[in-house]
Amino acid sequence: MNRAWILLMAALPPAIWGSTYLVTSEFLPADKPLTAAVLRILPVGLLLVLFNRHWPRPEQWLKLLVLSLLCMSLLHWPLFVSAYRLPGGLAALLICAQPLIVLVLGYLLFQQRSSGRILLASLIGFAGVALVLVSPSRLAWDTLGILAAALAACSMALGTLLIRRWQLDIPVWAFTGWQLLLGGLLLLPFMLWFELPLPNLQAKHVGGYLYLAVLGTLIPYLLWFRAMRSLEPVLISLFLLLSPLSALTLGYLFLDQTLTLWQLAGALTVFAGIVLSQYQARSRAVLTTTKS
């Protein structure tokens, strides 16, 4: 597949995921993170599994369950906790520290070494996001929200490394569906235990859940897992830096938040980090082609 399309598939999901915080704060029932997580991933996963009818091989089930726990259950539950308790941009900033976490975990667990250019690109991108979010105003630092965002980032970082390392031979649609389904099933007992009775849903609540399930989950995850099969974990994780920029832009458009020159400079810095990381990847591809 053309590399430009792969990069587009990697960039679109984080931009879409940045809307999660706006939808959570404005359209979902208050303080129901488990309900939001389950309704976001479980129905979509079930539909994908029924549609594909692909049954994993016996030796794949344990790895698939671990990936579902890391990439779905331990991502979405704390993600919605942080979305309820922190400003959207701040929550996204903490979660998009994932490229740095991927670098550290990859080295500690698998002795994977990344070049100085990739490390520099990660630091530049993260610094740009921090500049965007910290400069304009005071931020509400909620301890539980910060811990939840950190857990989500670490869980997804480890899951990203394992997906690339294990390379399960499962079609993308089925792979996505089983992860969503198993991740939702793992959270379902906790939702029923901690968050019953369910709230009386208004029309805006139903619309919010439908948006998160279809536009915020089904389409982005299909693109994300397809791109993940072609890009290194650190490289694809760098695109998550687009998520807080998306959250900030939506806040500006719909919540009357203002943009400053510092924020615009931070946005440019984020894109500089992403471009720097992809420049190296493209250079390696050209070099390999030349040698062959």
User: What integer pLDDT is reported at residue 267 of this predicted model?
Assistant: 65
Higher pLDDT, 73 or 105: 73
State the DSSP string of 35-58: HHHHHHHHHHHHHHHHHH-----G
pLDDT of 286 > 50? The answer is no
Cα 96 from Cα 63, distance rounded (Å): 25
Residue range 233-244, pLDDT digits in tens: 767 777 877 887
Banded model confidence at residue 207, pLDDT cuts 50, 70, 90: very high
User: What integer pLDDT is reported at residue 290 of this predicted model?
Assistant: 37
pLDDT of 277 > 70? The answer is no
Express as a percent the part of the chain with pLDDT over 90: 37
Residues with Cβ within 8 Å of 149's Cβ and at least 6 positions away in sequence, in order, are 78, 79, 82, 86, 91, 94, 95
Q: Which two tokens stand for residue 265?
A: 């400079």
pLDDT of 116 > 60? The answer is yes
State the DSSP string of 125-164: HHHHHHHHHHSSS-----HHHHHHHHHHHHHHHHHHHHHH
Banded model confidence at residue 285, pLDDT cuts 50, 70, 90: very low
Banded model confidence at residue 288, pLDDT cuts 50, 70, 90: very low
Q: Which two tokens stand for residue 136?
A: 């304009």
